[in-house]
Amino acid sequence: MTKTILGLSGSLRRASFNAGLLRAAVDLAPEGTRIQTGSIREVPLYDGDLEAATGLPEPVRILQSQLAAADGLLLVTPEYNNGVPGVFKNAIDWMSRGEGLAMFVGKPVAVIGASPGGFGTILAQNHWLPVLRTLKAALWTEGRLMVSRAGSVFDDQGNLTDDKTREQLRGFLEGFAARL
């Protein structure tokens, strides 16, 4: 039986390092595992009045449906100002609304990321911890992947070109998939 991982990039830029890292993850998924790419691009800013008036927006319902069908969740996070990007946190906040909260409980989640800086995305990954704890997700911590100095391992289109980093990603994905 094929395992499915929902992969979300926390960057809206199409040629971003993190979108490229997610594309590479799709290509490097271990045998018997499929990574389905979701999109946070159309998720509006959270507004309780909007939710009360019209319910969950369609992009949120799509993400919730993808999460419900997935065996695990892969968050591919940039690091902005030493933390989680607002657009990414906003999407997770929307996804946890209504029946969405129950979809996170016990769901295996892994966090990876790429950054042009020298420390990778260590602070953003750590910033996700209280959020995932609150959602009662099952954070997979047996592996860690933080791609630092991303400009040297991605091309201008945001494609991962470095073989060593691709192998590290492959190993990370194998470990996470084995947990599912």
Q: Per-residue pLDDT for the chain (180 aa), expressed as one digit of tens each?
A: 899 999 999 999 989 999 999 999 999 999 999 999 999 999 999 999 999 999 999 999 999 999 999 999 999 999 999 999 999 999 999 999 999 999 999 999 999 999 999 999 999 999 999 999 999 999 999 999 999 999 999 999 999 999 999 999 999 999 999 999
43 is a domain residue: yes
CATH number at residue 147: 3.40.50.360
124 is a domain residue: yes
16 is a domain residue: yes
87 is a domain residue: yes
Task: Give the whole-angstrom CA distance, residue 168 versus residue 132.
Answer: 24
4 is a domain residue: no
How wide is the angle at C-alpha 75 spanned by C-alphas 119 and 1, nearest 5°? 130
6 is a domain residue: no
Quote the domain boundaries for residue 39. Answer: 11-179
Task: Give the whole-angstrom CA distance, residue 39 versus residue 116.
Answer: 22
If one counts the domains in the chain, the total is 1
What per-residue confidence (pLDDT) applies to 177? 98
117 is a domain residue: yes
CB-neighbour burial class of residue 170 (10 A; exposed 0-12, middle 13-18, buried 19+): middle
38 is a domain residue: yes
Task: Give the whole-angstrom CA distance, residue 12 versus residue 109.
Answer: 21
Task: Give the whole-angstrom CA distance, residue 121 versus residue 150.
Answer: 11
